[in-house]
Amino acid sequence: MGEPKDKIGIKEYIAIALFMIGTKTTDDIPSMLFDSLQNAGWIAPIISGILAILPLFLLLHIAANYQDKSLIDIIYHIFGKFLGFLVLFFLWAIGFFYIVLDTATYTDIISTMYFVKTPAILIYATLMGVCAYGAKRGLEQIGSVSWSVLPYLQVSLFLSLILTIGQGNLGFLFPVFGPGEWDVLKESTMKISLYMDFLYLFMLFPFVKSTKDFKKGTWIAFFLILINLSITMVSYVMLFDYKSVMLLNYPYHETIRSISLGFLTNIETLFFPFWLIASFIKFAAYLYINIMLFGKLFKIEHFEYIMPAFATLIVFLGLLPESPTFAIFDLKAMVGNLASPLFFFLPIIMWTLAKFKGDLRK
């Protein structure tokens, strides 16, 4: 199999992007934002989104200039063999570390919110088993699966949001800027790593049908994600108020526990499968991109064969932290702080160097 043979269309690309980044609103990222921004947490995705436009724009500009090259080749080209390798290795390491932490978070969500008695290792192994299988099938399959289930998942998310907003209180949103305008701006800037995954998505550039599709897809996905993130966070504040939302680790799951639909008072199990499908696809895509990068770095042509091995490794690494709910939360914040400047400055450096080399034509 190796690299994908057929290219994916714009729909599939948008779906993959939505799953990789959009699902963040349903894990512990919101609580990370609420922690520092209190009730203004929902503004963070918007402000950091506006900031993220610059690196995204530069990346698109660079990618369009080097037709048919993925981000990996471009980085090698711009930075040279040695430095390029270091940059890519650093990107891979952050990506890998992030997958470990994120899968650990999702396992923690499942085992603390839904399957309290089931051993975490079984839940984790099942999660990674499915993801590794999906990733091993290849990019086209991940794209197709994403697109075929996306409408249903989006509907289920919006249904839960409508119910939440219906039961929420608009007054909880005020004062709009929570701890103060300056704080909001400062903290939001630090959270730009929310959109870090776009950097990884650029590695799929040569596998999307056309440059135009990729450009259009990236912007559509970006705005959809931005809207999804802020609306869901608004609804969390409206339902819980900022004091309690700051205490919650997984606000989405608390939300679907609190809302009811007619005679059904506990409907979290209705939303749970949709969220699960989204998570499976999300990590399949993460794993695929990460292992593809690894394969490129170490010249492994059929990189799909090392996926099961990496999936197993991830399970054991992810199980290491003793009290995942807190340890992983802190570790994730740390990785975020490291990734934010990387995501912001790497495209700028790349663009400058490319300009310097005279590769960019207007």
The smaller minimum CB distance to another protein, of residues 133 and 305, is found at 133
Residues 6+ apart with CB under 8 A from 96: 290, 294
Q: Which of residues 246-265 bind another protein (CB under 8 A)?
A: 263-265
Show the tokens assigned to 3.
Answer: 């690299």
Chain mean position to CA 180:
28
Residues 6+ apart with CB under 8 A from 350: 58, 59, 62, 74, 75, 78
The smaller minimum CB distance to another protein, of residues 115 and 298, is found at 115
Over the window 54 to 93, marking each residue x when it contacts another protein by CB under 8 A and - when it does not, the resulting string is ----------------------------------------
* Binds another protein by CB under 8 A, chosen from 137, 186, 215, 216: 137
Burial of 82 (0-12, 13-18, 19+ CB in 10 A): exposed
d(CA 282, CA 278): 6
Instruction: Report the chain's C-alpha Rg in angstroms.
Output: 20
Only one of the segments 96-104, 171-179, 275-283, 351-359 lies at the binding site for another protein (rule: CB under 8 A); that segment is: 275-283
* Binds another protein by CB under 8 A, chosen from 266, 298, 302, 349: 266
Virtual torsion, Cα 63, 66, 68, 74, nearest 10 deg:
-80
Residue 280 touches another protein, criterion: CB under 8 A: yes
Over the window 20 to 59, marking each residue x when it contacts another protein by CB under 8 A and - when it does not, the resulting string is ----------------------------------------
d(CA 352, CA 172): 45
Residue 104 touches another protein, criterion: CB under 8 A: no
The smaller minimum CB distance to another protein, of residues 203 and 281, is found at 281
Amino acid at 11: K
The binding site for another protein (CB under 8 A) comprises: 6, 8-9, 11-12, 110, 114-115, 118, 122-123, 126-127, 129-130, 133-134, 137-138, 140-145, 147-149, 263-270, 272-273, 276-277, 280-281, 284
